[in-house]
Amino acid sequence: LNHRKNLEAEYDILNFWNFPYGFGRKVKVGRFSPYVSQSEQLSLSENLIEWATGITETPRSVCSVSCSPGFRKTPLEGKPACCFDCTPCPENEISNQTGKSCNSTQTVCYVKNYLRNHAVYHPQDDTHQIS
> Over its length of 131 residues, how does the chain's per-residue pLDDT go in tens digits?
556 665 578 999 999 888 888 888 999 999 999 888 888 999 999 888 888 766 767 766 677 788 888 888 888 898 888 888 998 888 878 777 776 777 765 544 444 555 555 555 544 444 444 44
If we measure between CA atoms, which residue out of 29, 4, 32, 5 comes closest to residue 16? 29
Query: Counting beta carbons within 10 angstroms of the beta carbon of residue 94, is it exposed (0 to 12), middle (13 to 18) or buried (19 or more)?
Result: buried
Q: Which has the closest alpha carbon to 112: 100, 124, 96?
A: 96
Q: In whole angstroms, how far apart are CA 77 and each of 33, 40, 62, 99?
A: 43, 43, 17, 20
